[in-house]
Structure 1
Amino acid sequence: MSETTTSPVLATVHRGTAPVPPEFLFDVVADAEKWPQFFAPAVHAEYLERGDDTDVVRRWFLTPDEDVKVRTARRHLDRDGLRITLDDTEPDASRVSSRVEWTFTNVSDGAAEVELRHELVPAEGLTTADREALATELERNSAAQLAAVVDQGNRRELLEQLVLSFEDPLFVAGRPEDAYEVLYEADKWPDRIAHVSRLDMTEDVPGIQFFDMDTKTPDGVPHTTRSVRICLEPRLIVYKQTTLPPLLDAHTGHWRFTTTPEGLIVSARHTVTIKPSALSLLGEGTTIQDARKYLRNVLSANSMKNLQLAKAFAEDPTRA
């Protein structure tokens, strides 16, 4: 029989420094919607409530075994005191409560310390093994989150050049559910989109998809990527590449469906982080600016094919 325990509070403390003002690090943590670009497990975040100093954020994130978990937290953002706290509003079966506290301190001219405290109250009756697994997860996640924030501080100026983000919209004179359907059915893309040659998809949990995809860029370069998608019908499909093409350190984006009086706008968003060590893949002497232009062209070209597919599908008169 497994030993059970009335586990006491689990707690971790992690600290790091970066050559930036503390206000910069505060803003990095405060901007929840940007976390998927810089923190590997994060897939999507959106605000359920938003005020001047409090908000409620729902977060989707990957576990090491590729499950997607969802947590919702109420945050208090004290900009004057340079402190952010998060309290889970919907703890899962493993925990009674969870609190995260970030503090940011000026340690010298142009440098700051960030401290991350995480306290978790395990559920009653957990086995010793479950409690140990929870403690391991807490330590791993806290250390990785702190490292991601410090890295943004250390690479502040470089990241401003390496990160490219843009959105391409297209008007569709059709029903939102039809435009959504064709982009949701990614497993059918090899038969519908020329640059997609293979796509193997699983959807064990409704609305959460994983797929491996083979594509070619307009100049004929093949890529194999793996992605996770969060499908929030009928308004949004969010994706994150977990296996990336060699030129990128990160790639996130979404398909957004916005109803208008005349029809709807379907927009494709990409946010990529360029890998500096891979610039030579585009030719000797390639600069970051060269890579930005290349990616803007290639990603937009592929997105427009998807958008045009959604437009044709939704505007097909036989579907009326």
Structure 2
Amino acid sequence: MKADPELMRQAVYDLARHKLQEQLVDSNPTDTKCAERALEAAIHGVEEFSRQQVSLPALSSVPLLSSAFSRNPPRAEAGPAPSGSDLVELIHRANGADRLPLWAVMTAAVLLTVGTVFIVVPQRDRLMTLGRPLGDQREQTVPEKAVGTPASPTALNRSPPPPSFPRPTDYGVYALGDDALTELRLLPGRAPDARVAISAAFRLPGKVSLPNGHPEFIVFRRETTTNILEHAEVRVIARIAREFSAESAGKRIDDNDSWVIRNFSYPYRSSPVPDNPEMYRLHSEDPTLQLSPGQYALILKDQSYYFSVGGAIVDPRQCIERVIATSGTFYSACKKRNHAL
């Protein structure tokens, strides 16, 4: 009943009819019939008010509790909500002033008041809407008319700007240089600790050459949303150009298995990509940094990603020699003739 105003009003009407029968048990038939007609006139007055002021659908049928009630009660006149004096006049026209007792008029007036409250309270939001000025309704309809119309040049200019750099579509780690993305290769094993001067030897996974020595990096990973790195670093990868041992002095090492990561590093900082929480960007802490030609590794926690910068290698840190002795393995800088690789 609370969710359906029509059922609520009908329950009030049925209760009023039932109580009226209890009161008219000892009354004469004439007074009983006048009271019943007055009650039905009040019910239809409430229904007429609900249709005109709140635009509620009329009850499809108002069942009567007694066959003595009128089957065709008179309709109330159209107009605003009737007051107490208007109700008396309405019932007098429907039943005759000389045949209607005063207590029946008071009962009908009380019924009308209660019924009006049951109508207005559930519909208070709609009544507030009906009371708004016409100008407010026009303002609400303007956006509806604008739907589907072609966008103006100003609206087009407000569209989000295109990305300032190319975005990868697959998860991975990429180098960004000259507005081009280059995917980096993952090196085998764990990245060496920064306190380790030279890592174990490994093979290069394949050439990954960048166009210049001022790269930035794009990290695109699913776990980045909850685990973004604040710092990263780029370390030098050196080639073991020559090995000295008791078995073979001065043996040249095969290029496929003669590379190590050194602890010469360049720090990088991370910054988020605003429109993609799974992606962040790495840039050098030194804006003027220019990596010299050679091999490098991007260190992200315990993973290393290989890339190279093209050009003639002249940095002595890119070359190293290994000495294997009975007391251990030692490394030293390459001689000058081995710098150019």
TM category (shorter chain) comes to under 0.3
**Structure of larger gyration radius:** 2
Which structure dedicates a bigger proportion of its chain to strand?
Answer: 1
**What TM-score results when the alignment is normalised by the length of structure 1?**
0.19
**What TM-score results when the alignment is normalised by the length of structure 2?**
0.18
